[in-house]
């Protein structure tokens, strides 16, 4: 499996996301993708399926140390004591004694960022977490988090797909040595009707999903999460390292971005987003 390096962490560039995935699908699909060769699994406390993810990894027969496991602390657990307790709960559910990457799931201004980052560092020092990072953080919040952290942050997980220009955040992450992990890569299914993506796929003998995933991982410092409940599509989604998009292909996909392209912006959670120049 291909990996990228960010502030000392080796992160598999293609991961399997479990957002809104019922336990039965997790228990079926996670062992399947691991046996296909994928080595990066992403979940979160709020997804409600950490226990299924833990059971699925165990059932796969793949050695735990060979799996890069990410989970995220929910915003209600950002106070110091609740944070530590929630991480212990996640470890128990995930049936492991360490998490490869622990993220703050969303910004939460009701708890000082210093307290959140301090708790992240504390669980890392305790050996419960190998790497730490953030999710859905703007440039300003990301820079402040980096400044407050004793240990290096390794990733900012953000919405990123062909219709959303995220170059401002991506460039800031690169300068700070962070990877960007892209979620919602298929733009909630919108990509599948896109004629530009269809044409590029036809030229390479690849599906639209393969084109989008390749576009993401072909960018420096970008990891991508894929999600499917179809074994066939999972096999296709992993087959993105045997071709390369041309500079023209990459530019054509970047040109699809729209000012209205953001999909995930929940009230009460979303910060004031950076705007592309």
What mean pLDDT do residues 116-123 have?
98
The CA distance from 40 to 141, in Å, is 26
Residues 6+ apart with CB under 8 A from 85: 77
Check pLDDT > 80 for residue 177.
yes
Fold classified for 3-189+220-232: TIM Barrel (3.20.20)
pLDDT at 275: 85
pLDDT at 91: 98
Of all helices (H) and strands (E), which one includes residue 200? helix 195-204
Average pLDDT, the chain: 97
pLDDT at 1: 73
The CA distance from 142 to 110, in Å, is 17
Percentage of the chain exceeding pLDDT 90: 98
The CA distance from 103 to 113, in Å, is 13
Instruction: Give me the torsion for CA of 7, 8, 10, 14, rounded to 10°.
Output: -10
- Is residue 13 within 8 Å of residue 224, measured between CB atoms? yes
pLDDT at 169: 97
pLDDT at 277: 57
Query: Three-state DSSP class for 101?
Result: strand
Tell me, yes or no, if the pTM score tops 0.85. yes
Q: Please return the burial class of 259, using the count of CB atoms within 10 Å of its CB with bins 0-12, 13-18 and 19+.
A: exposed
What mean pLDDT do residues 63-82 have?
98
| 47, 160, 163, 183: the active-site residue | 47
Percentage of the chain exceeding pLDDT 70: 100
Instruction: For 209-223, write each residue's pLDDT tens digit.
Output: 999 999 999 999 999
- Answer positive or negative: Cα dihedral of 139, 209, 11, 50: positive
Instruction: For 84-102, write each residue's pLDDT tens digit.
Output: 999 999 999 999 999 999 9
Confidence of residue 276 (pLDDT cuts 50, 70, 90): confident
pLDDT at 200: 98
- Is residue 6 within 8 Å of residue 178, measured between CB atoms? yes
Residue with tokens 């979940």: 43
What mean pLDDT do residues 222-231 have?
97
Instruction: For 34-64, write each residue's pLDDT tens digit.
Output: 999 999 999 999 999 999 999 999 999 999 9
pLDDT at 74: 98
Check pLDDT > 90 for residue 238.
yes
The CA distance from 104 to 86, in Å, is 12
Please provide the size of the chain in residues.
Answer: 277
Residues 6+ apart with CB under 8 A from 268: none
Query: Three-state DSSP class for 220?
Result: coil
Query: Three-state DSSP class for 156?
Result: strand
- How is residue 9 written in tokens? 């962490």
pLDDT at 245: 98
47: annotated active-site residue: yes
């Amino acid at each position: 499996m291909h990996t990228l390096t960010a502030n000392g962490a080796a992160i598999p560039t293609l991961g399997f996301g479990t957002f809104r995935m019922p336990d039965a699908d997790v228990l079926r699909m996670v062992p399947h993708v691991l046996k296909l060769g994928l080595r990066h699994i992403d979940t979160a406390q709020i997804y409600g399926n950490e226990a299924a993810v833990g059971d699925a990894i165990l059932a796969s027969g793949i050695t735990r140390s060979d799996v890069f496991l990410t989970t995220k602390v929910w915003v209600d657990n950002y106070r110091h004591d609740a944070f530590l307790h929630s991480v212990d709960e996640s470890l128990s559910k995930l049936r492991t004694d360490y998490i490869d990457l622990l993220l703050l799931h969303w910004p939460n201004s009701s708890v000082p960022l210093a307290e959140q980052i301090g708790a992240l560092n504390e669980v890392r020092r305790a050996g419960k977490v190998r790497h730490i990072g953030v999710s859905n953080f703007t440039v300003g919040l990301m820079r402040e988090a980096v400044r407050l952290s004793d240990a290096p942050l390794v990733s900012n997980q953000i919405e990123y797909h062909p219709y959303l220009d995220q170059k401002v955040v991506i460039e800031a992450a690169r300068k700070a040595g962070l990877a960007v992990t892209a979620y919602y890569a298929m733009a909630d299914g919108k990509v599948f009707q896109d004629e530009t993506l269809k044409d590029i796929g036809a030229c390479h003998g690849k599906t639209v999903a393969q084109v989008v995933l390749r576009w993401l991982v072909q960018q420096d410092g970008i990891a991508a999460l894929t999600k499917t409940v179809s074994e066939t599509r999972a096999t296709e989604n992993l087959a993105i390292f045997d071709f390369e998009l041309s500079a023209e292909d990459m530019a054509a996909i970047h040109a699809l971005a729209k000012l209205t392209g953001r999909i995930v912006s929940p009230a009460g959670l979303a910060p004031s987003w950076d705007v592309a120049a």
